[in-house]
Amino acid sequence: MDMMINPSASPTPATFTIGDVVRHRLFPFRGVIFDVDPVFNNTEEWWASIPEEVRPRKDQPFYHLLAENDEASYVAYVSQQNLVLERDGEPVQHPAVPQMFDGFAGGRYRLRPEIRN
């Protein structure tokens, strides 16, 4: 069943922000947020490829992450319901982090001034 986004409903407010280090609730990866979509903004094919029993709602923020697991670094697109703020303070080792962020303190990254819009 395809979930339509109700245009008259207010989207769920974003819990996380750019620079936050988060981990996935179900899968073994973590990352730093570099962009936020207020609601789902990817292809229907991408959404349908997620197993139905773990498929997220579309009417919530989705986050773009510079992600990492034990084997690789990659870019991930994750719903708010599947993320948890990581409080251990460890930096993310993704190779693109230094291109986007220029500081890490208190468990958060600071976006480079030239990237801010």
Asked whether 65 and 31 are in contact (CB, 8 A), the reply is yes
Per-residue pLDDT tens digits for 70-93 = 999 999 999 999 999 998 778 999
Q: What is the pLDDT of residue 1?
A: 40
* pLDDT over 70 at 18, yes or no: yes
- What mean pLDDT is reported for the chain? 90
What does each C-alpha distance from 113 to 64, 80, 100, 107, 117 come to in angstroms?
A: 19, 26, 9, 19, 9
pLDDT of residue 45 exceeding 80, the answer is yes
Residue with tokens 């973590």: 30
Residue 107: pLDDT over 90 = no
pTM of the model: 0.88
Distance between CA atoms of residues 109 and 67, nearest Å: 14
The pLDDT, as a whole number, for residue 9 is 62
So where are the chain's domains? Answer: 21-111
Is the pLDDT at 5 greater than 80? The verdict is: no
CA dist., res. 9 & res. 6, Å (int): 5
Q: How many residues does the chain have?
A: 117
Fold of 21-111: SH3 type barrels. (2.30.30)
Can you tell me the distance from the alpha carbon of 5 to that of 2, in angstroms, rounded to the nearest whole number? 10
